[in-house]
Amino acid sequence: GAFDLAQLSRYRLRGAGNTFFINCAPRLAQRGVEGNNKGEDVYAAMLPNGAVVSGVSPHSFAFFRDLVEKGDLEIYKVNVQTEGSQFRSRDFFPWYSELLTYNLSQAHEGWKDGLSVAERREFLQQFNFIDTELVLDLKRIPDLSKQPVVARADTHGNLKLSIAVSDAKPEWFGKRLNVVINGHSCEAEIREHMFDAKSGHHGIAPGSSGHFADSAKDDPRFLELAMIGKSLREELGITAQDLKDGVYIEIEPIEVLPEIHAGLDAAEAEVREVSAG
């Protein structure tokens, strides 16, 4: 959900005039523990491009963390009811979405892209249900750079990772990699294009997602892991529940011992000599 919210709202053509609300909470704490069906809080923010995003739980803003780190985004708590119903998506969130959209449409003259953080804060202050004094703490937003996950499995079973191309470690390039995912391991190499890998082989390449125009990264696209000609999700047995719980990724270069390198080089030289003969 966090991935989709960022992919839709941070795209350069989605600016002022666009509002996004996502009701997708991880429920890290069992619903109802605090009584009266109390659920997680709702937050809202205006992006540098002018789009307004709102979501349930700090986890919904995992793919906006870089903006918060740069000081180019503040995320505020919204005073919308969070308890009293088991079905908040039916009883509370529809009218909140309508209220948010209506108020934004009425204030359209001051709604534009390119506003500073202070100007965006001032713009949102006019709506009494957005508490700009309560800023979401960066520490509460998941840092996916420290614990990469599968952000989404697409309809082809390819796995979109939370690792931006520019965040890939230098030692990953030009080497065979051991990728551990969902209790399984496979070998792959980072390639320029996904179809550079052979059919039936695993490949890692920059995917189609992550083109965030406001990103300061050289290449903000996310890496994608796929098995050419087959659904990698099926191959690894990744279920919907797995994705909800979090499918974590570990990538390490496969170290080849020096003596093996020497043996491979000698064998290659021998083949060249025989071919030349």
Quickly state the pLDDT bin for 241 (edges 50, 70, 90).
Answer: confident
Given a contact cutoff of 8 angstroms between Cβ atoms, the answer to whether 36 and 238 are in contact is no
pLDDT at 52: 95
Residue 264: the pLDDT is 47
Mean pLDDT of the chain: 82
What's the CA gap between 221 and 233, in Å, rounded? Answer: 21
pLDDT value, residue 53: 95
Following CA atoms 211, 216, 219, 224 in sequence, which dihedral angle do they give, to the nearest 10 degrees?
Answer: -60
Burial of 76: CB neighbours in 10 Å, binned 0-12, 13-18, 19+: buried
Among 74-88, 163-177, 190-204, 247-261, the least confident range: 247-261
| Lowest mean pLDDT segment, chosen from 45-59, 61-75, 234-248 | 234-248
| Range 103-124 average pLDDT | 91
Q: What is the dihedral of CA 228, 232, 234, 235, to 10 degrees?
A: 90
Model confidence at 37: pLDDT above 70: no
Per-residue confidence band for 122, with pLDDT thresholds at 50, 70 and 90: very high
Residue 259 has pLDDT above 50, yes or no: no
The yes-or-no verdict on residue 260 having pLDDT over 50 is no
